[in-house]
Chains A and B, each alone.
Chain A
Amino acid sequence: MFPRGRLWLLYGGLAVWALVVWLRLAQVQLIDHADWAQLASEQQEKTVEIQQPRGEILTRDGRVLAGSLERVRIGANPRRIPRSAWPSLARELAPLVGLSETEILARFRAASNFLYVARDLDPSVAAAIKRLGHDHLWIEPTERRVYPHGPLAGATIGFVNGEGAGQAGLEAQFESTLRGAPGTFRLVRDGSRKGTQVELRPERPGRPGLTLRLALDSRVQVILEQELDRTIGEIGARGATAVAMDPWTGQVLGLASLPSYDPGRPGEVSGEVRRNRAIEDALEPGSTFKPFIFAAALAHGVLRPHELVDCSGGGVQVAGFLIRDHASYGLLSATQALAVSSNSGAIRIAHRLSPALLDASIRSLGFGSATGIELPAEARGIYRSPERWSAMSRAGLAIGQEISASALQIARGYAALANGGVLVRPSLVLETLDPRDRNVITPYRQSPGTRALPPEVARQVAAMLGAVVDEGTGKAARVEGYRAAGKTGTAQKAGVGGYTAGLHAAWFAGFLPRENPKLVVVVCVDQPERTYWAADVAAPTFGRIVTRLVTALGLPPVTGVRT
């Protein structure tokens, strides 16, 4: 038999050993639990930040104006790689990154420390590079911004820099919306402390960039740009802009600025080309401003639509200066005076208003203040308060001088004439969408407009603008089957110390159908060359644009309207 004493000794020894083990277990599991868990986590896991994809920019008809592709870039620090290993590394990398061994070796030699061996690579390359097992190469996820339609609406979309941050246009204005927020994840690492893809545990959920759905219609935008391009090609010009807007909501259906550029290659053009002329360039509106003077006079009861206005004399003397007219028209009704764009008539009407009333009317139509469109660098235009007016100022304003406005500001003013007198806020972005399922995140909300003119006055001026197209300076803007309304404007361009001879801006601003306007279109050709008269440059462009727009947008013609 086994001696009982020794047996108990053995039992006791085992019990003490078990007790020590249990105590140590208790210490590790209960007392020092947090420290050990932290240590284990540091050894087995790693926090990684994953940038979420940048949001897309869509037109209202669903075309993708800007999208993003996931890419990777390969970084290395050649100083930490033995020089003898460079050739073999270059040999392995070359076919993967699309560079020659010589090029890679040259980059290694030129780098003082860190360098990106290759950028803008397909993510599938990353897996192949990981398989090479080189610890001194690292892979960074990145994105490439793609603009599938090239220069279409280029100045409006804007562009991003090398790090993917918006630098101009909508890309800059909606940077935080489009960029989203990066998410952090816990990545499980293997025994050699390399990350495995076993588990990516979300620590802080990221938010992918939201998709912007614009009010811009791709068809409208194409038509605006093609027709402006044709005008520049036929007549020659420094640039041209066009705006198409829904007069009731202020939604901007098209915003063209030529010359345009491809936002994917912004470095190839100068800042002059990248400028969005439709909102950043403020020019004197010339005679396109006259309808606002007529509206102010009608609104304040100093003019009636059929009242005869003195347009005689071939000009009018103001503060010792003669402001010429195109002809001596004699007595004309207000409608006829606007139709022939009489300077004398407009100046005499403006002088019926006190500076304060004229100023209030001009300001109520949004001149001198930015429209608030969702784009950076919008020009407010130049408009001085009455305290700084000279004796010539009312006359100047009557013919669209001493004031400058962007094409968008003019479009907003004409929208007020078209919609019954309400000044709407132009909007370019309809809504933001969830990038995964395109559900609406931020629905469209129309900004409330402000009443700028009594409805009756807006109707009367709209009718006058109809006469401009039917029998006045705007005949070239006519479209068979439709009743358009609008006004030409030929403005001399101001330079240092006065107007610059030979430099003009040709405008046409109008809307259609006259009875229930659906579209406001403004065309401005900057420094036209072969001819500069708005009736020959901007009005025909307007005519061609609306001819195509009514077909594209399905606006039915009015029976029996022939021009």
Chain B
Amino acid sequence: MRVAGYRPANAFLNRPLDSRWRQWFTRCAIGALVVSVTLGALVGSRQEEVRLRYEIAHLRQDVAALEREARLLQLERETLASPVALSRQLDALDLAEVPRERVAYLTGDGRLMPAPVPTPPTAEQRAAAPRGAR
């Protein structure tokens, strides 16, 4: 397209106006699209990786915290269920020692045998018994 009646003397300006702007626009648009897709493909995947790393890091922190808590609970359970601690709190916990007569052994042939009892000698026996040497 030419502008009617306009004839500039300067050859540099004597330039036909670009009538193919649509073509230029299309090329630019395609170029921008290619650049966007390329960048999207490169940066997007990298961003996804970074996001996943963040997620993994957070999950690791959560796992570490849970493991810490599990260890704490396990040690607390040990403390609470310690025979030493339990034996001191029999009354408070409403527990009672099992009487010796309620403990028995089941033999292979199905008989119940009573639990052992210490049989220290009587005072008389003790008085008569020889003592260990020095």
From A399, A481, A482, contact of B134 by CB (8 A): A399
Contact (Cβ within 8 A) A326 B131: yes
Q: Which residues of B contact A70 (CB under 8 A)?
A: 68, 71
Contact (Cβ within 8 A) A287 B133: yes
One of A161-169, A173-181, A376-384, A470-478 at the interface:
A470-478
> Cβ of B23 < 8 Å from any Cβ of A?
no
**Contact digits for B85-118, partner A, Cβ 8 Å, 1 yes 0 no:** 1010000000000000001010100000111111
Rounded to whole angstroms, the CA-CA distance of A165 and B44 in the bound complex is: 49
**Contact A286/B133 with A152-B82, A197-B57, A475-B121 known, Cβ cut-off 8 Å:** yes
Rounded to whole angstroms, the CA-CA distance of A227 and B113 in the bound complex is: 24
One of B1-9, B25-33, B34-42, B73-81 at the interface:
B73-81
Contact (Cβ within 8 A) A547 B117: yes
Contact (Cβ within 8 A) B75 A536: no
Q: Which residues of A contact B116 (CB under 8 A)?
A: 479-482, 547, 550-551, 557
From A68, A218, A401, A489, contact of B132 by CB (8 A): A489
Q: Which residues of A contact B114 (CB under 8 A)?
A: 481, 557
Contact (Cβ within 8 A) A478 B118: yes
Rounded to whole angstroms, the CA-CA distance of A491 and B133 in the bound complex is: 7
Q: Which of B62-77 contact A (CB under 8 A)?
A: 65, 68, 71-72, 74-76
Rounded to whole angstroms, the CA-CA distance of A489 and B114 in the bound complex is: 31
**Contact digits for A28-70, partner B, Cβ 8 Å, 1 yes 0 no:** 0000000000000000000000000000000000011001111
> Cβ of B126 < 8 Å from any Cβ of A?
yes
Contact (Cβ within 8 A) B120 A490: no
Contact (Cβ within 8 A) B105 A200: no
Q: Which residues of A contact B71 (CB under 8 A)?
A: 67-70
B12 to chain A, nearest CB (A): 8
What count of chain B residues pass the 8 Å CB interface test? Answer: 45
**Contact A476/B75 with A150-B82, A551-B103 known, Cβ cut-off 8 Å:** no
Contact (Cβ within 8 A) A478 B82: no
A48 to chain B, nearest CB (A): 14
Determine the residue in chain B with the shortest Cβ distance to A64: B78
Q: Which residues of B contact A67 (CB under 8 A)?
A: 71, 74-75, 78
> Cβ of A333 < 8 Å from any Cβ of B?
no
Contact (Cβ within 8 A) B131 A341: yes
Contact (Cβ within 8 A) B125 A556: no
From B11, B87, B118, B129, contact of A473 by CB (8 A): B129
Determine the residue in chain A with the shortest Cβ distance to B80: A148
Contact (Cβ within 8 A) A481 B132: no
> Cβ of B22 < 8 Å from any Cβ of A?
no
**Contact A479/B117 with A67-B75, A219-B83 known, Cβ cut-off 8 Å:** yes
A265 to chain B, nearest CB (A): 14
Contact (Cβ within 8 A) B132 A544: no
Determine the residue in chain B with the shortest Cβ distance to A559: B113
From B72, B84, B105, B132, contact of A534 by CB (8 A): B132
Rounded to whole angstroms, the CA-CA distance of A446 and B130 in the bound complex is: 40
A320 to chain B, nearest CB (A): 19
Q: Which residues of A contact B53 (CB under 8 A)?
A: 198-199
Q: Which residues of B contact A472 (CB under 8 A)?
A: 129-130
> Cβ of A123 < 8 Å from any Cβ of B?
yes
> Cβ of B24 < 8 Å from any Cβ of A?
no
Contact (Cβ within 8 A) B58 A556: no
Contact (Cβ within 8 A) A488 B105: no
From B54, B78, B120, B132, contact of A286 by CB (8 A): B132
Q: Which residues of B contact A480 (CB under 8 A)?
A: 116-119
> Cβ of B20 < 8 Å from any Cβ of A?
no
**Contact A476/B132 with A148-B78, A149-B78 known, Cβ cut-off 8 Å:** no
Contact (Cβ within 8 A) B75 A69: yes
Q: Which residues of B contact A473 (CB under 8 A)?
A: 129-132
Q: Which of A198-227 contact B (CB under 8 A)?
A: 198-200, 218-219, 222, 225-226
Contact (Cβ within 8 A) A476 B133: no
Contact (Cβ within 8 A) A490 B133: yes
Q: Which residues of B contact A247 (CB under 8 A)?
A: none
> Cβ of B50 < 8 Å from any Cβ of A?
yes
A165 to chain B, nearest CB (A): 20
> Cβ of A340 < 8 Å from any Cβ of B?
yes
Rounded to whole angstroms, the CA-CA distance of A421 and B61 in the bound complex is: 57
Q: Which of B78, B79, B115 has its CB near the most chain A CB atoms (within 10 A)?
A: B78
A292 to chain B, nearest CB (A): 14
Rounded to whole angstroms, the CA-CA distance of A504 and B126 in the bound complex is: 19
> Cβ of A124 < 8 Å from any Cβ of B?
yes
Q: Which residues of B contact A478 (CB under 8 A)?
A: 118-120
Sample 13 A-B pairs with CB under 8 A, ordered by A number: A150-B84, A197-B57, A199-B57, A222-B87, A327-B130, A473-B129, A473-B132, A478-B119, A543-B120, A551-B103, A551-B115, A554-B105, A557-B113
- 4 more contacts with CB within 8 A, not counting A198-B57, A287-B133, are A199-B57, A473-B129, A478-B120, A507-B132
What 5 A-B pairs come out closest when comparing CB atoms? A148-B78, A488-B132, A543-B118, A148-B79, A197-B57
